[in-house]
Amino acid sequence: MSITMNGGQIYQLISDLFPITRSITGDGVRQSFALIRKHIPIRIHEVPSGTTVLDWTVPPEWNISDAYIENDKGEKIVDFKKNNLHVLGYSIPVDETLTRKQLDEHLYSIPENPTAIPYRTSYYKKQWGFCLSHQQRMRLKNGKYHVCIKSSLKSGSLTYADIIIPGTSKKEILLSTYICHPSMANDNLSGVALTTFLSKWLLRQKKRRYTYRLVFVPETIGALTYLSKHYKKMRKEVVAGFILTCLGNDAAFSYLPSKYGDTLADRVAKYALKTTGKPFTSYSFLMRGSDERQYCSPGIGLPIVSVMRSKYCEFSQYHTSQDNLQFVTPHALEESFVLYQRMITILEMNKTYTANCLGEPQMGKRNLYPTIGMPYLPPETEKIMNLLMYADGGNDLLRIHELTGISVESLHEIAAVLTKQKLLRNV
Amino acid sequence: MSITMNGGQIYQLISDLFPITRSITGDGVRQSFALIRKHIPIRIHEVPSGTTVLDWTVPPEWNISDAYIENDKGEKIVDFKKNNLHVLGYSIPVDETLTRKQLDEHLYSIPENPTAIPYRTSYYKKQWGFCLSHQQRMRLKNGKYHVCIKSSLKSGSLTYADIIIPGTSKKEILLSTYICHPSMANDNLSGVALTTFLSKWLLRQKKRRYTYRLVFVPETIGALTYLSKHYKKMRKEVVAGFILTCLGNDAAFSYLPSKYGDTLADRVAKYALKTTGKPFTSYSFLMRGSDERQYCSPGIGLPIVSVMRSKYCEFSQYHTSQDNLQFVTPHALEESFVLYQRMITILEMNKTYTANCLGEPQMGKRNLYPTIGMPYLPPETEKIMNLLMYADGGNDLLRIHELTGISVESLHEIAAVLTKQKLLRNV
Amino acid sequence: MSITMNGGQIYQLISDLFPITRSITGDGVRQSFALIRKHIPIRIHEVPSGTTVLDWTVPPEWNISDAYIENDKGEKIVDFKKNNLHVLGYSIPVDETLTRKQLDEHLYSIPENPTAIPYRTSYYKKQWGFCLSHQQRMRLKNGKYHVCIKSSLKSGSLTYADIIIPGTSKKEILLSTYICHPSMANDNLSGVALTTFLSKWLLRQKKRRYTYRLVFVPETIGALTYLSKHYKKMRKEVVAGFILTCLGNDAAFSYLPSKYGDTLADRVAKYALKTTGKPFTSYSFLMRGSDERQYCSPGIGLPIVSVMRSKYCEFSQYHTSQDNLQFVTPHALEESFVLYQRMITILEMNKTYTANCLGEPQMGKRNLYPTIGMPYLPPETEKIMNLLMYADGGNDLLRIHELTGISVESLHEIAAVLTKQKLLRNV
């Protein structure tokens, strides 16, 4: 598989998606999918409000056209049209005049980060609210305030999308990302845009060993909806998977393992991260917080990890207006893209071989061995002999890397030569 | 299960039992059981001398009414009535006058601890002897000495007791202690009294998950006798067990593992000791010395550990007259009692659960989740979600504690709530 | 099994074998076997040139009577009769006069070790050459040189030898050494001579538990030839094996594990090396370089280790004229011999026992226990009780050593006593 430069294009897609007001349902998700569909042929699915999905029910669809707080001079002092984070997600409609004190019960701000507008939601309890910077909140004087939210909560549907890119094998690699967050760049337009460009790259490959399942869902309810339809197949076929989130800022990579930390996804992630040569942060599964909560749950148990940059909850801009287009960079996105390409490439390479002959094959007659008997073997010959020794049908290339220190990429190349020479076969 | 204060009462029972001359057979054991029976309804069993028990034979019954050494002035210089340790256990009767030199072959003392009377026995070789402090021995001048031991060794029986406290399950917890030592407080009246009060406490519980088997036997021959009757059932039913010994002095706790150190008894003991927050000593199974020698032997293989304070053989008062009523304290006994209550309570709590639904259940509709979407979950919610995640049918609560750091007690409480909500079931 | 002194005799055999020109085929191997046969009744086998052995073909037989380089004064400046390393192994015949420059293409020397003649071969590509010290090569002036190699490469046969020393069990211990190197003492006449004397010693034993397979083969092609005939049986029967190589110089012992480092051969080698009390070097299997390359290969998978002194490739005299009779010593050979005797003795001792009774047996009635009950057991009694405790049918003596710290030799002695007493049986 070939590696290409995409950082700038990924950043451009994030910029295009940024202004849209997304939530777990509603037209914002549909508009976002329309933009993504310009890049890749995703299938878009609608699931009616009220549908039971595992233990949950698809909520009413939420849409919003305007929201603001006016002071007694008629000035819009908080305006959804300036920043869609200003409104509490899933706010019910309201049109009232309140005292400063009454208003305060509906306000959300962050005293510790007084210039940031927080991102808050109330999907399952009917209420309304506004989010604003703590500085702004502190400046609100006594007096009357007119609050107006022009939203609707009606029976509609939840929208999600996926794309299945077939491979030689029915075994699947899952890439899942969440599409429900409004104007925030790292969390999670970075994941959405990266998944889009990885799809594009995978579609361009002439041949894939694995089938790829790429999933764009609203977080939690969307993942549950998706699983309710596909978990039997996924439980059977998915051999490794990734939650794509928080991949856009200039920070070291980080890794959140699967439930028990021992799956193929864990092994490939740790190998890829280790061989970047740069430090990375390892989290415990106890620090989880995205759709691995569903994918790894009892009875589902998929082998899913997250490879991120600054992990959600772990950066000061998280879930605020400061997670904006300045916070992510084309360079960081490019690096993230390359790392995911590499993990996928290694998964494709990571076969299990068995030697075709007993004892060492005679490499000399195949021009793979020095003709003069020397005390030391050339390093390339040593690698060949080590692969042949450990190709006993019980080790995949990642395991042979652990046993020999030879990179998976080198092992793959050597395996190709030896397979051609009929010295190895894939099992 | 409720925790109660018992240190003073346990100390009182030790004081009551202290003067009695016990051995592996004889009336001393019967008198001791009579006192214990005032607290708990033990069943008392008699096994005739000569009975084959596994590789052994129940020895003749030994009783003693008096024993002394008189000097040539007719003064009793060593007197069994002052301290029953003065006579070598299982001494045959004697009534002779000897020279100082002849006498010396029958004396036992400890040069390194010259003020202590040692505890010595000769159960299986017919001989007689006296134990005395090394100081006293050194003071014995040349001259004639009259030795008199009024003992009998006759066909009779070995006496032991047990009590089975039934639970919901046939699976058993074994608490075993040894009753054969004469006037020594830590080794092992502490174990005897503690086992009595643990029985009392267990009997008071309205409901028990496990069946409790509490066993009071003379060490070695008694444990073998007990096993010869019950090993098939015990091998099938006992899931964890403890030897109660040396639990009365003011010293740190100590732990002697099972044969391979990997049983449920080991896990609960280590958990309970670790969470006291105080240091404790861990011994190797090679340091064993009580009835785990029988219970853990090949073909029996029970999961038995010892949780002690100063371990037998490891304190200077061990097997001497200095292991007296001053050496043990109500406070130490209380702490030991509480630790055993806790180990039992944790065993009762330590169930294996499995989640009843796929994916995360919707906690909001059960009022178990914040209604406003926030970047961080409250700690209590986090604990709930972690239990639900790891309740996949393969982990008991002790294992979930290891995976999550949540105390077994908290996990148990949460599991109760979730079971009521039909989100978990016990497997 | 009794231990005897053999260092001097082993050194003498090395001295006798040293002058012979050996290669992977030819009369040198036959002459060497004739000398070995004076010590032990090896079976000698001839396999015709052209025979297919696994992926390989037995090459033509090589013999050589003379080889030299003459300068234009007719002086023999490089003379095979002075040192058989001077000729490139398997050189085709040549009789030509060349310029200095033409000659140089056929010369081999070591610039980093300018006084040593290197050992080089070209078994599978037809060419000729001379090896000489780099000092000598540098002194060669321009002029004409007459090169003469009186060798023959004809259809003949490959010669190897083995000896099977039967034991009570069909299970086998393999000792394999390579016989193909010309005049070099440590690599590998030390291995050849040691294997000879170990055979002699094994033949003298009245009784052996295991069957011993001792194999003398040319390296690589000989091991492959041997495996092609015997691998099915060896795969079934060999429980542990050793490559005997580089055992003659005064240096610390070293250990090269089996492929995964977890076999009986690994366990016994590590035990024997550890209990010498002297430091030893542990290598990775990645540093392998002898016939374990065949014996451990996929589909063969024998449990083979190497216990050496200075490992091949790891000493400056390796594969040069400096690996001579001064480099090896009777004392080092004696120590190596004793270590191999010990590994074999431990393998013979290393049985798995199970106790014949439930609970502890009554040791007193068998005079194996103190008659006075004492706080501490005598160390010998403690060892007995520990062996009885861990003799549960799942542990061999090496494992019981790991669990108890008791030497395998002590455990073996105790097991003999307990087996006689019918307390243990071998499983």
The DSSP annotation for C3-35 comes to ----HHHHHHHHHHHTTS---SSSHHHHHHHHH
Looking at residues A255-282, what average pLDDT do you find?
97
Which chain B residue has the Cα nearest residue C373? B121
Query: In this structure, are residues B182 and B21 in contact, taking their beta carbons and an 8 Å threshold?
Result: yes
Q: Determine the Cα–Cα distance for residues B101 and B79; give it in Å rounded to an integer.
A: 20
Share of chain B above pLDDT 90, in %: 94
Cross-chain Cβ contact C359/B125 below 8 Å:
no
Strands of A179-265, DSSP E: 211-217, 238-244, 254-256
Contact C347, C205 (CB under 8 A): no
pLDDT above 90 (res B76): yes
b/e C190-221 (16+ beta carbons within 10 angstroms → b): bbbbbbbbbbebbeebeebbbbbbbbbbbbbb
CA–CA dist C225, C159 (Å, integer)? 10
CA angle B10, B1, B386 (to 5 degrees): 130
* Full strand arrangement of the beta sheet holding B172-178: B43-48, B157-165, B211-217, B172-178, B238-244, B304-308, B254-256, B281-282
Does A246 have pLDDT greater than 80? yes
Cβ-contact C171, C229 below 8 angstroms:
no
Would you give the DSSP letter of residue A133?
-
Question: Which one of B52, B55, B230 makes the best mutation probe of the C interface by having the most chain C beta carbons within 10 Å?
Answer: B55
User: What is the pLDDT at residue B1?
Assistant: 46
Write out the E strands in B222-317: 238-244, 254-256, 281-282, 304-308
Bond prior to A63 in cis (omega within 30° of 0): no
C-alpha of B404 from chain center: 32
Question: From the candidates A356, A381, A382, A389, which should be mutated to test the interface with C, based on the most C CB atoms within 10 A?
Answer: A389
- Centre a 10 Å sphere on the Cβ of residue B393 and count the other Cβ atoms it contains: 12
- Output the CA–CA distances (angstroms, integers) from residue C98 to B46, C103, C106, C138, C406, in the order listed: 107, 6, 11, 17, 69
The nearest CA of chain A is from the CA of B378 a distance in Å of 13
Sequence-distant (≥ 6) Cβ neighbours of residue B390 within 8 angstroms: A259, B399, B400, B403, B404
**Subunits adjacent to chain B (3 or more Cβ pairs under 8 Å):** A, C
Looking at the DSSP assignment, which residues form a beta bridge with residue B163? B214
User: Is the per-residue pLDDT at B4 higher than 60?
Assistant: no
Tell me how far apart the alpha carbons of residues C100 and C144 are, in angstroms, rounded to a whole number.
Answer: 6
Contact of B362 with chain A, judged by CB distance below 8 Å, is answered with: yes
B316/C contact by beta carbon, under 8 A? no
Does C354 contact chain B (CB < 8 Å)? Answer: yes
| For range A163-184, the mean pLDDT | 98
pLDDT at A370: 79
pLDDT band at A367 (very low <50, low <70, confident <90, very high): confident
Q: Is the pLDDT of residue A4 over 90?
A: no
Q: Report the C-alpha gap between B30 and B32 in whole angstroms.
A: 5
- Report whether pLDDT(A375) > 80: no
B223 interaction partners in chain C (CB closer than 8 Å):
359
d(CA A258, CA A133): 36
Cα dist from C359 to B23, B190, C389, whole Å: 21, 25, 9
Distance from C-alpha of B214 to C-alpha of B41, rounded to nearest angstrom: 11
Chain C residues with CB-CB distance to A357 below 8 A: 54-55, 299
Question: Mean pLDDT, to the nearest integer, of A238-265?
Answer: 98
Q: What is the pLDDT of residues A52-104, one digit of tens each?
A: 999 999 999 999 999 999 999 999 999 999 999 999 999 999 999 999 999 99
Q: Is C365 on the interface with B (CB under 8 A)?
A: yes
For CA atoms C100, C104, C106, C111, the dihedral sign is positive
| 3-state secondary structure (DSSP) of residue C268 | helix
Phi, psi of C212 (to 5 degrees): -110, 130
pLDDT in tens, chain C (427 residues): 444 568 999 999 999 999 999 999 999 999 999 999 999 999 999 999 999 999 999 999 999 999 999 999 999 999 999 999 999 999 999 999 999 999 999 999 999 999 999 999 999 999 999 999 999 999 999 999 999 999 999 999 999 999 999 999 999 999 999 999 999 999 999 999 999 999 999 999 999 999 999 999 999 999 999 999 999 999 999 999 999 999 999 999 999 999 999 999 999 999 999 999 999 999 999 999 999 999 999 999 999 999 999 999 999 999 999 999 999 999 999 999 999 999 999 999 999 999 999 999 999 888 888 877 766 788 899 999 999 999 999 999 999 999 999 999 999 999 999 999 999 999 9
Tokens 């998929």: give the residue.
A302
Contact C181, C228 (CB under 8 A): no
Q: What is the mean predicted confidence (pLDDT) over B273-291?
A: 97
d(CA C150, CA C64) in angstroms, rounded, equals 6
Could you give the CA distance from residue C183 to residue C20 in angstroms, rounded to a whole number?
7
Instruction: Decide if A365 and C300 are in contact by the 8 Å CB cutoff.
Output: no
- A113 at B interface, C-beta within 8 A: no
Closest residue in C to A373 (Cα) is C121
- Burial (CB < 10 A; 0-12, 13-18, 19+), residue A187, is buried
Q: Is B108 left (phi over 0), alpha (psi -120 to 50) or beta?
A: beta
pLDDT digits (tens, 9 = 90+) for B177-198: 999 999 999 999 999 999 999 9
A103-122 average pLDDT score: 97
C393 and chain B in contact, CB less than 8 A: yes
**C-alpha distances in angstroms, A71 versus A87, A114, B62, B307?**
17, 21, 100, 71
Nearest one of A167, A264, A268 to A214, comparing CA atoms: A167
Supply the pLDDT for residue B2.
47
Beta strand residue intervals within B128-278, DSSP E: 130-131, 144-154, 157-165, 172-178, 211-217, 238-244, 254-256
pLDDT per position as a tens digit, B156-182:
999 999 999 999 999 999 999 999 999
Task: Give me the pLDDT at residue A371, please.
Answer: 75
The answer to whether residue A33 scores a pLDDT higher than 80 is yes
Q: Which two tokens stand for residue A422?
A: 């009929």
Distance CA C158, CA C140 (A): 37
Distance in angstroms (rounded) separating the CA atoms of residues B357 and B172? 32
Query: Looking at the complex, does the CB of residue B357 fall below 8 Å from at least one CB of chain A?
Result: yes
Mutate to test the interface with B, among A56, A227, A233, A310 (most CBs of B within 10 A): A56
Q: How far apart are CA A165 and CA A208, in angstroms?
A: 9
DSSP letter (8 states) at residue A364:
G
Give pLDDT tens digits for A300-334.
Answer: 999 999 999 999 999 999 999 999 999 999 999 99
Amino acid at the residue A79? D
B77 burial type by CB count under 10 A (0-12 exposed, 13-18 middle, 19+ buried): middle
Kindly provide the residue ranges of all beta strands, DSSP E only, lying in C56-206, ordered along the sequence. 56-57, 61-70, 76-79, 94-99, 107-108, 130-131, 144-154, 157-165, 172-178
Q: How far apart are CA B268 and CA B399, in angstroms?
A: 10
Task: Give the whole-angstrom CA distance, residue C239 versus residue A88.
Answer: 72
Predicted ipTM > 0.90: yes
- Kindly identify which residue of chain A lies nearest to residue B353, measuring between CA atoms: A298
Q: Which residues contact C4 (CB under 8 A, 6 or more apart)?
A: C201
Find chains touching chain C: ≥3 CB pairs under 8 Å: A, B
Exposure string of B106-115, with b = 16+ CB inside 10 Å and e = fewer, is bbbbbeebee
Give the contacts of A36 (CB within 8 A, at least 6 positions apart).
Answer: A13, A42, A161, A192, A196, A216
Is B90 in a helix, a strand, or coil? coil
* Closest residue, chain B, to A128 (C-alpha): B372
User: Who's near C233: CB < 8 A, 6+ residues apart?
Assistant: none
Strands (E), B270-309: 281-282, 304-308
The arithmetic mean of pLDDT across residues B261-279, rounded, is: 97
